[in-house]
Amino acid sequence: MRIVIGADHGGFELKEHVRDLLAAQGHEVTDVGAFTAESVDYPPIAERAARMVAAGEAERGILVCGSGNGVAIVANKVPGVRAVNAHDVDETLLARQHNAINVLTLGGRRITAAQAEPIVAAFLDTEAEGGRHERRVAQITAAEGR
Ligand code: RB5
């Protein structure tokens, strides 16, 4: 799968771990930074990754900051992006099944790499359920245009 990944300094370490894991699994991963653990603003990085997802240049996006919140807020400003800050596998499954999220955000200071791994797997491996949820996702998309 084509995946774009990005982080600020608060998510740098976890981003590096997830990127290497996904690359080892054979995914085509585009890393939009940060490339060091030095302090950096997260909005431009999150926006760049989110726009790649919205444009179809990546099928999914993964963004990491300290809390997972800032990057989620930015990503959700981009039309076509549905991002959720997930803390466990169950909420990730629901976010894929019901909300068809295309961007996952993680808190590098909130969860460990070991906790992140099954969350990332659930994000990539779970299909959107369709049906009544598809109608609701279409309503989310419609709200973007109003
Ligand atoms: C950076 O200190 C921190 O504010 C950032 O990583 C993120 O948690 C913002 O939401």
**CA distances for 11 relative to 3, 86, 136, angstroms:** 17, 14, 31
**What does the pLDDT look like over 63-92, one tens digit per residue?**
999 999 999 999 999 999 999 999 999 999
What spacing in Å lies between the alpha carbon of 130 and ligand 1's midpoint? 34
- Omega prior to 34 cis, within 30 of 0: yes
| Whole-angstrom Cα Rg for the chain | 14
Question: 98 catalytic, yes or no?
Answer: yes
Quick check: CB of 68 below 6 Å from ligand 1? no
Centre of ligand 1 from the C-alpha of residue 85, in Å? 13
- pLDDT average, residue stretch 97-120: 98
CA of 58 to the centre of ligand 1 (A): 24
Nearest to 57 by CA among 18, 23, 29: 29
pTM attached to this predicted model: 0.98
Atom of ligand 1 lying closest to residue 73 CA: 10
Nearest atom (ligand 1) to Cα of 8: 6
Task: Enumerate the domain spans of the chain.
Answer: 2-144
Q: Is 12 in the pocket of ligand 1 (CB under 6 A)?
A: no
Catalytic, 87? Answer no
**69 Cα nearest atom in ligand 1:** 10
With CA atoms as reference, report the closest residue to 17 among 108, 86, 84, 85.
108
Edge to edge, the sheet with strand 60-65 lists 28-31, 2-7, 60-65, 103-107, 83-85
Tokens (6 digits) for 21: 């894991």
Q: Say how many CA atoms lie within 13 Å of 74 toward its Cβ.
A: 24
Question: Among residues of the chain, what percentage have pLDDT more than 90?
Answer: 99
What is the per-residue pLDDT across 6-63, written as a single tens digit (0 to 9) for each? 999 999 999 999 999 999 999 999 999 999 999 999 999 999 999 999 999 999 999 9
Count of helix runs (H) and strand runs (E) in the chain:
6, 5
For the domain spanning 2-144, the CATH number is: 3.40.1400.10
Distance 65 CA to ligand 1 centre (A): 5
Cβ within 8 Å of residue 43, ≥6 positions away = 70, 74
Residue to mutate, 8, 15, 45, 85, ligand 1, most ligand atoms under 8 Å from C-beta:
8
